[in-house]
Amino acid sequence: MVNSLKKLTQSQLAMPLFALFLVVIFNLFRDVGFFSISVITNNYGNTVLSGNIISILNGASELAILAIAMTLVTSVTKGQDISVGALAAIAGSIFVKVLRANEITMPVILMSLLAAVVVAILFALFTGTLVSKFNIQPMIASLILFTAGRPIAYWINGGATPNVESPLLNYIGSFIPGIPIPTPILIIIVFGILVTLALRFTNLGLYIQSVGINERAARLNGINPVFMKLLVFMILGVCVTIAGSINVCRIGLINHETILLDIEMDAILAVAIGGNALSGGKFKLAGSVIGAYIIQALTITLYAMQVSSTAVKAYKAIVIIALVVIGSPVIQEWALKLRDRLFKKPKKNNGEKLIWHY
Amino acid sequence: MALLKRIKDIFTLKQEDKPREPISSTALLLTITISAFVVMYVLAMIIWGGGFLNIQQFLDIFNNNAYLIVISCGLTVVMIAAGIDISVGGTVALITMSCVVFLDSRGGSIAGSMILALGIGLAIGIIQGFLVSYLNIQPFIVTLAGMFFTRGMTTIVSSAPHTATNEAFLALKNFSIIVPGIGSYGKSGNFIPARIEPGVLIALVIVLAVWAILKWTRFGRNLYAVGGNSESALMLGINVKRTRFFSYILCGLFSGIAGYVYLLHTGAGNASNASQAEMQAIASSIIGGTLLTGGVGSVIGTLFGVMSLKTINNIVIASGLREPYWQSITTGLMLCFFILLQSVILALRKKSGVRNGENWRKHKIWNFLTSQRNSE
């Protein structure tokens, strides 16, 4: 028992789980009704689940997918891609453009998803090439698409904010009749299982980490770092498309300026809260996904506390700073020293230490 | 003069007797930036003429972007020390809003608002610097939280846009300096003297000050050392943490000044003030030859970076692409160009240090251009 507890506190997931625990405890004390889940009938006549927890799980779907992609990019390139929001806007625009050109049926939706994936992968590969071939820092390389991405999305759609309407899209964006759980949650679960299987049964995760930890050593061991980086950026393209399409289906239109705005920042934050080093190397996807849900839980909690949507950012910032300060090695070391001083016998060479200080 | 001599050397193919000291990366990137800007502006003058020949339009680049120059200076300092600060735009917005609200309140005064602006900037710089340097938290996360905080606080201070009505402040805002001797002729043939705003002078003074700090002070040299390789800097006895801390304080102070300069230009507080300014400032620094990996950069280059960024926007408008999205796309293209250029140049430089038979031609040209005459 003690051993397993020790294992847990030393694992990478300790920090994000503790943060999630704090958010939950805070809400328990604030208002127990926050956790209530009710069954209601929505506008389309479906019996669906409703409640804050459901909206947290539902609302964090895009963020969770992007956090997975961001974790892989962070791990392999030792930097972050800040263009995911803009890429999602591009992918969403292609999705909408193909949908609007045809009558919306299931094959057409799949076709437009395919088109969006291809375009998103191409754009992601542009950043990927700059990063892998030209050794440019990912943040700078993605600054190009961060600046130009949303305008390109605007240009693809010819200016307006086109909307798409179809019950099929509603199935993807909100509920499939007969299933009370929002579809984005189901998509996340399926996607998560796929990624977990891919990492468990292939060497993908190992290769990515080895490139991130030491590129030269990885190359000497026969792993092609350039290919691994490009592969990760291709995965990023896929993730971005899924996130963008879910968002389009959810709202029913695409606005290049507001779709998934600032999500790159949230995704990087999710990676950091999840206990992954932003300087690359080892990663834990579960941590990042939990980080994404923490961020969304925080946002929904603040909304429930009647904080206006524009002011949420300020409170979020304070919580983030508090979390990273608690998690910082300096503070942890200091806390351990404090604990030793309070609960253990004073060391015998205390005097020597004093002399050392002077 | 040194530059002229260099150019003369290149054209006369003069071989020197003794090997010259290789040009530093900073100076090389700076030269590229300045020449790119000059070429771009001269081409614009030849092709589109009109507005580009107008001295006032040139000065308006400064008038409209004095605040951007100031925050870019701060970012350059931080980036040379291998840090990053993406909270500067939010800080500018927070300062404009707080100062406007303070100026319009009872007892609001210009001196008070200036102190408020500097105080907010310094406070944010100190907090971020402390978290980054002494608690070892990743700068991106700290300043990201800083950006969220300042943007959020701006709307908490006042959610509606707010225009200053304080008379003393309005007098100061409308004050502009007539540049003696230069100007343009209006349509009716009357002479319109060129005007610059006081904010531009502040910005230029700050550019010079940062240039002097980077060039002549111990702190400036420490910045390059810490950014280049923090471990060897530590072994050389440089106080790495304090250097980083001071770089963030300087950046915070500059965003305070930039906030006031912005207010002097627009006279209004708005939650969307200086939106994307942090990214523009980072882009300007990169175009100006500062590397995000640290250790390389110059503030003069940053100044030219801002000017290049804004000139290209003017060129896009002049060439008839009036939709606003074209500006962002061209900014992206320009960034791409400069980033690739820097990457290729630095990679070649690295390679040219190593003897490598297969690329001899490239090396010869390269050595010739950079005067890196190896003992051949």
Residue that wins the pLDDT comparison between B82 and B325: B82
User: Quick one: which of A89, A13, A123 has its CA closest to A263?
Assistant: A89
**Which DSSP category does A258 fall into?**
T
CA-to-CA distance for A317 and A298, rounded, in angstroms?
Answer: 11
Chain A nearest CA to B375, separation (Å):
29
The whole-chain average pLDDT of chain A stands at: 87
Hey, are the CB atoms on B147 and A325 less than 8 Å from each other?
no
Strand locations in chain A, DSSP E? 37-41, 47-51
**pLDDT of B21:** 55
Domain presence at residue A2: no
Residues in chain B within 8 Å Cβ distance of A140: 286, 292, 339
Residue A156: closest C-alpha in chain B? B325
Q: Which amino acid is at A68?
A: I
* Of B330 and B3, the one with more pLDDT: B330
Contact B136 A147 (CB under 8 A): no
Which among B135, B156, B326 is the nearest to A311, CB-wise? B156
> From the candidates B153, B336, B350, which should be mutated to test the interface with A, based on the most A CB atoms within 10 A?
B336
ipTM of this complex prediction, to 2 decimal places: 0.80
Residues of B in contact with A324 (CB under 8 A): 131, 137, 141-142, 145
**A268 near B144, Cβ under 8 Å?**
yes
pLDDT reported for residue B96: 95
Q: Do A328 and B137 touch (CB under 8 A)?
A: yes
- Name the minimum distance, in Å, from the CA of A62 to any CA of chain B: 20
Give the CATH number for residue A122.
1.10.3470
Q: What is the pLDDT of residue B164?
A: 87
Least Cα separation, residue A312 to chain B (angstroms): 7
Whether A349 is in a domain gets the answer no
Residue A353 covered by a domain: no
Task: Please report where in the chains the tokens 């925080």 appear, as a residue.
Answer: A298
Stretch A326-354: mean pLDDT: 73
Chain B segment 298-327 residues within 8 A of A by beta carbon are 323-326
Question: Which residues of A fall within a CB distance of 8 Å from B141?
Answer: 268-269, 272, 278, 320, 324
Helix (H, G, I), strand (E, B) or coil at A131: helix
Integer angstrom CA distances of residue B148 from A262, A318, B45, B93, B356: 10, 9, 41, 12, 49
HSE at residue A298, side-chain half, CA atoms within 13 A, is 26
Tell if the CB–CB gap between B159 and A310 is shorter than 8 Å: yes
> Please, which pLDDT band fits residue B362 given cuts at 50, 70 and 90?
very low
- Contact between residue A60 and residue A292 where contact means Cβ atoms under 8 Å apart: yes
Among residues of chain B, what percentage have pLDDT more than 70? Answer: 86
Beta-bridge mates of residue B268: B163
C-alpha separations of B11 from B14, B16, B32, B172, B374 in Å: 8, 13, 17, 51, 20
Q: What's the confidence (pLDDT) of residue B349?
A: 72
Residue in A closest to B345 by C-alpha: A134
Q: Where are the domains of chain B?
A: 33-350
- Give me the CATH topology for the region B33-350: ABC transporter involved in vitamin B12 uptake, BtuC (1.10.3470)
Report which of B105, B341, B369, B129 is spatially closest to residue B247, judged by C-alpha positions.
B129
Q: Which residue from A151, A314, A330 is facing B148, i.e. has the nearest CB?
A: A314
- Residue written as tokens 């896009």? B316
Confidence at B54, pLDDT banded by 50, 70, 90: confident
In a domain, A351, yes or no: no
Residue B354 has pLDDT above 50, yes or no: no
pLDDT, tens digit, for every residue of B234-282? 999 999 999 999 999 999 999 999 999 999 999 888 888 888 898 889 9
List all residues 6 or more positions away from B333 whose beta carbon is below 8 Å from its beta carbon: A144, A148
State chain B's mean pLDDT as an integer.
84
Nearest CA in chain A to B156: A311
- Position A265 pLDDT exceeds 60: yes
Residue in A257, A269, A278, A250 with CA at minimum distance from that of residue A313: A269
Please give the residue that has the higher pLDDT: either A42 or A157.
A157
Compute the distance between CA of residue A53 and CA of residue A63 in angstroms, rounded to an integer: 16
Residues in B 73-102 with any Cβ partner in A closer than 8 A: 84
- How far, in Å, CA of A91 to CA of A114, rounded? 10
- Note whether B292 contacts A139, CB cutoff 8 Å: yes
Question: What is the pLDDT at residue A11?
Answer: 75
Distance from B77 to chain A by nearest Cα, in Å? Answer: 17
Nearest to B149 among A278, A279, A318 (CB): A318
The share of chain B scoring above pLDDT 90, in percent, equals: 43
Report CB contact under 8 Å: B343, A136.
Answer: yes
State how far residue B319 is from chain A, nearest Cα, in angstroms.
18
Output the pLDDT for position B356: 36
pLDDT for A6 beyond 60: yes
Contacts of A328 in chain B (CB under 8 A): 135-137
Nearest to B173 by CA among B264, B92, B104: B264
Buried b (16+ CB within 10 A) or exposed e, B308-324: bbbbbbbbbebeeeeee
* Contact check, Cβ <8 Å, B155/A308: yes
Q: Which of A144, A269, A325 sits opposite B135 (nearest CB)?
A: A325
User: Is the whole model's pTM more than 0.90, yes or no?
Assistant: no
Q: State how far the alpha carbon of A198 is from the alpha carbons of A221, A269, A275, B91, B211, in Å.
A: 21, 24, 22, 43, 52
* CB B98, CB B150: distance < 8 Å: no
Structure tokens at B338: 């400069």
Task: Provide the pLDDT confidence category of residue B28 given band limits of 50, 70 and 90.
Answer: confident
Contacts of A267 in chain B (CB under 8 A): none
Q: What is the pLDDT of residue A346?
A: 56
- B186-216 pLDDT tens trace: 667 777 788 888 999 999 999 999 999 999 9
Q: Which residue of A has its CA nearest to B325?
A: A151
Of the listed ranges A90-94, B15-19, B34-38, the one predicted with least confidence: B15-19
Lowest-pLDDT range of B15-24, B30-39, B82-91: B15-24
Contact A272 B151 (CB under 8 A): no
Kindly determine whether residue B144 and residue A265, on different chains, have CB atoms separated by under 8 Å.
Answer: yes
Select the residue of A147, A268, A308 nearest B331 (Cβ to Cβ): A147
- Whether residue A102 has pLDDT greater than 90: no
CA–CA separation, A204 and A210 (whole Å): 10
Domain of A91, in residue numbers: 13-338
